[in-house]
Chain A
Amino acid sequence: MSLEMKKIESKRLGDCYYKVEHPSGLTILMAPMKGFSTAYAMFGTAYGSIDTCIKTAENGEFRKLPEGIAHYLEHKLFESEECSAFGRYAKTGANANAFTAFDRTAYLFACSDKFEESIEILLDFVTHPYFTPETVAKEQGIIGQEIRMYDDSADWRVLFNLLGALYHKNPVKIDIAGTVESIAEITSDLLYDCYNTFYNLHNMVLTVAGNFDMDSVLKAADKVLKPAEEFYLERAVCDEPDEVVQNYVEQHLPVSVPMFNIGFKGKTGTEAENFRGSILDEIFVGALCDDYTKVYRELYDEGIINATFGSEVFCGRDYISIFLSGESREPEKVYNRLKEEFEHLLEHGIPKDVFACAQRSVYGHYMRSSERVTGVATTLFNCHFPGVDMYELLEIAANATPESVIERVKSTYCAENSALSVIKP
């Protein structure tokens, strides 16, 4: 079978990747990288912890799913009637793993040898579910311990407390693994139901980067993948207000110094708008409080932030926020100072020299991710569902201006729609 292979290039980087629409319905993105020994593959679906209310037929009704089921399904997919996927990978030496995020699930492996066998295992086990009441019951204990591990994790709690303070309805505020109670509702029938809904190849992507032969990927896809049925899925739209639930939330846990997360809640656009906009937001955050700014210096010299201070733009299908985190004995002071600076920048614009620092940093970050096999496969994966070309990210950073950044941030954020989450000893 000869398939159309579209080549996508970046002149700036001198790199390229290839896109294939496989007859099964799966999109395959491949970036062979010269000189590297590792191949890294990710096979995943646009299904994550936030998909808790869905409709699978146009005239059907919305159904609620137990919290944490996407993550449970990810664990159980590794099993089959004969042998676990880990047992099969053991024969190839590949280092395999999987993760469930808010709006996606991915199965992945890295290897420096026997790629052909590993890619076939990956495609095969993800497309062949096997759940029984016994195997489902067995996982309750394991995932129960995973949930408890996160309950004790201050990093995790400070983030989810923040999400709870920012969002009224958006299921992004629900813990990815669910709760010990919610996962008790999960049955093998429900897992099949979710599997058949979300693991449709039209809703999935395969990305591969590094040292591999593209023909072997296509050969494995031809061999393993059956044409997918037609795909219909509607997710309940939550009508999330712009305002936050509360501006402050705290919890006591055994930690040495208080930890904080600050969130500026953005108005969501389409998934693609969020994704493209997040690059400009990153430049804005840099200009707001990265280590080359006056504000950072003031807070640092006052001793109320330290080298753990950092930022992140949190974005997905129907949510976008700016997060700032660190350790501080006076987190309220940090929060208030950053809110003031946020408003100041929106009103007075970003000084040219500060903008140059922020833009170059973001540009350098995306450029460096293109020199790592994992970075390339992950970026291809993350860009697919929003429908953005991977190389566009670098161009957005390169073409940004102080005005375009301010315009974007003004239309998306308001300093008041924000919250502070603190973990105290």
Chain B
Amino acid sequence: MQGKLVRKKIGESAFMNSVTEPKFKSDRISLCLVTPIEKETATVNALVPFVLRKGCKSCPDFTKLNQKLAEMYGAILDADVAKHGDKQIIEVSIQFTDDRYAIGGENMTETAAKLLSDLVFEPNFDENGHFPEIDLELEREFLIDTIESDLNDKRVYAIGKALGLVFENEPFGVKRYGYVEDAKAITADSLSETWKNLVETSRIEIFFAGPGDSGIAEKVFEKRISALERKPVSSEPFEIVDYSPFKEAEETMNIVQGKLVMVFRMGAPKTEKEKNAARVLSALYGGTAFSKLFMNVREKMSLCYYADSHFERGSGIMIVDCGIEFENREKAQKEIINQLELVAKGEFTDEEFADTKGAILNSLGSVGDTLYSVEGWYMSGIVEENIITPEEDKKAIEAVTKEEVMKAAEKAKLAAVFFLKGGEN
């Protein structure tokens, strides 16, 4: 089934997903451990992919491992943690040249699948059943640096602060890489216990995309997973809050441009229809180069270079942010609110509405054209347990009405404002 998702159960709460596409020249396999995001475990979970990346029983030496990848025509091994709604995802992926382009006709798929499986399920434990001491030390330091690196990009930093105001006690507010204090407290015992627990209890999702034979990879993973002791824990999805009391904060930093972030609660859109209306609203409002925010806050008032809005399906909020002169804060904030009110009153033309949908449809048409976007598209559906094709999504977007968008705008309520301004801190 070319280009279509094939999903198959290969173990207790373990699934093999594949999209076969002969047009690509490389294949990508990702192994994801999906678990509820919780403040207590987020940090130690985030360290797991970093230590897994360092080696495994079959290839314990980090340098040898990297040599092996380089010899596979520069195969790319990624290990990271992601956040999706109320889930945390520990992901290790390998992208490699397909068998057809290997000079010696090597079986790249089998080699890559085995290596990935070894890295995740057969770590290089020492005689005490721990990850090597040096890996714990170095990667814990790197985790702390990664947590703190939010500061390096002021836009990211300001958005993080604004979300912190909104989601004080909700799982959506838990930070992707966790917290410095928790990272410092990680021990050899707690780390290996966490790995054991993740392998035992989390949902395992394997994703294969590319021209290669996913069946070869499937055999490798099925065999390995059947040998695991699995006790999957299912969790109830977190209920999205409709509204929360307004909060506001400011911070001073030695910078030259102010960063304004405004977060809106959307009244907890639950149905697909409501979520799609919020998506179209966000695009119309600040998601394109002909949107309300772009045309007014940037083009008409020349206040900023960027003023964007973005709807987050998983947590049901809309984020607006822009970079401005410090003294223009009031002016910008007022106009951002004003534009949303105008949309709620239906002050947008049929043409703007149709063009906005056109932009969304056009980008949906490109989902199948990179391995990365194919995986990203289906994995978010898989994690949300609501798998649809880009074509089905196109139909749903087409069906959104002007009234639904107005309604979505009306339901939007400002939940938090964060402003990062210049000066001595």
- A residues with a Cβ closer than 8 A to B are 13, 33-38, 84, 86-87, 89-96, 110-114, 138-143, 145-146, 148-149, 151-155, 210, 253-257, 259, 286, 290-294, 296-297, 300-301, 303, 306-307, 327, 353, 356-358, 360-365, 367-368, 370-373
Contact = CB atoms under 8 A, between A and B. Distances in A.
B5 interface: no
B151 interface: yes
Contacts of A114: 362
13 contacts: A13-B25, A93-B361, A95-B363, A140-B302, A145-B257, A149-B305, A155-B152, A256-B152, A286-B70, A363-B73, A364-B73, A364-B97, A371-B25
Given A112-B362, A297-B62, A306-B145, A37 B368 contact: yes
B21 interface: yes
Contact of B256 (A146, A148, A307): A148
Given A149-B257, A210-B369, 9 more contacts: A33-B23, A35-B22, A36-B369, A37-B365, A95-B362, A146-B305, A155-B152, A255-B151, A356-B70
B348 to A, nearest CB: 12
Contacts of A291: 63, 66
Interface string B267-299: 000000000000000000000111000100011
Contacts of A373: 369
Of the listed residues B75, B352, B369, the one surrounded by the most CB atoms of chain A closer than 10 A to its CB is: B369
Given A149-B305, A292-B66, A362-B74, A95 B254 contact: no
A255 B157 CA distance: 11
Interface stretch (B134-142, B192-200, B223-231, B378-386): B134-142
Contacts of B254: 253-254
A142 B325 CA distance: 11
B369 A38 contact: yes
Contact of B71 (A255, A293, A356): A356
B302 A365 contact: no
B355 interface: yes
A31 B261 CA distance: 42
Nearest to A37: B365
Contacts of B22: 35
A194 to B, nearest CB: 22
B66 A151 contact: no
B185 to A, nearest CB: 19
A363 B289 contact: no
Nearest to B352: A90
B101 A367 contact: yes
A361 B366 contact: no
A356 B256 CA distance: 47
Interface string B347-368: 0000010010011011111101
B336 to A, nearest CB: 15
- Indicate the size class of the contact surface on chain B: 35 or more
Nearest to A357: B70
Contact of B255 (A96, A110, A145, A254): A254
A93 B362 CA distance: 6
Nearest to A398: B103
Interface of B: 21-26, 50, 62-63, 66-67, 69-75, 95, 97, 101, 134, 137-138, 141-142, 145, 148-154, 253-257, 288-290, 294, 298-299, 302-306, 323-325, 352, 355, 358-359, 361-366, 368-371, 425
A110 B366 contact: yes
A149 B260 CA distance: 13
A84 to B, nearest CB: 8
Nearest to A137: B302
The 3 A-B residue pairs with the shortest CB-CB distance, nearest first, are: A112-B365, A141-B302, A35-B23
Given A35-B21, A151-B257, A301-B134, A86 B290 contact: yes
B25 to A, nearest CB: 4
B361 A300 contact: no
Given A141-B303, A367-B25, A371-B23, A254 B151 contact: yes
Nearest to B368: A37
Contacts of A259: 152
A330 to B, nearest CB: 13
A367 B73 contact: yes
A253 B153 CA distance: 11
Given A145-B304, A360-B73, A292 B145 contact: no
Contact of B365 (A113, A256, A307, A365): A113
A338 B369 CA distance: 39
A168 B73 CA distance: 39
Given A38-B366, A148-B256, A257-B148, A360 B74 contact: yes
Of the listed residues B25, B142, B154, B256, the one surrounded by the most CB atoms of chain A closer than 10 A to its CB is: B25
Contacts of B368: 37
A388 to B, nearest CB: 21
B98 to A, nearest CB: 9
A268 B81 CA distance: 42
B74 A255 contact: no
Contacts of B289: 86, 89, 96
A354 to B, nearest CB: 8
Contacts of A151: 256-257
A13 B50 CA distance: 35
A37 B371 CA distance: 13
A142 B304 contact: yes
Nearest to B362: A93
Contact of A90 (B101, B149, B359): B359
Contacts of B299: 84, 138, 142
Contact of A307 (B134, B142, B294, B366): B142
A347 B231 CA distance: 58
B257 A148 contact: yes
B100 to A, nearest CB: 9
Contacts of B73: 360-361, 363-364, 367
A300 B150 CA distance: 22
B23 A255 contact: no
Given A111-B362, A145-B325, A371-B23, A154 B97 contact: no
B67 A353 contact: yes
A98 to B, nearest CB: 11
Contacts of A33: 23
Contacts of A145: 257, 303-305, 323-325
B74 A365 contact: yes
Contact of A290 (B70, B138, B151, B153): B70
Contact of A358 (B70, B72, B325): B70
A143 B62 contact: no
A133 to B, nearest CB: 15
A90 B152 contact: no
Contacts of B134: 301
Contact of A256 (B21, B101, B149, B369): B149
A368 B178 CA distance: 34
B290 A38 contact: no
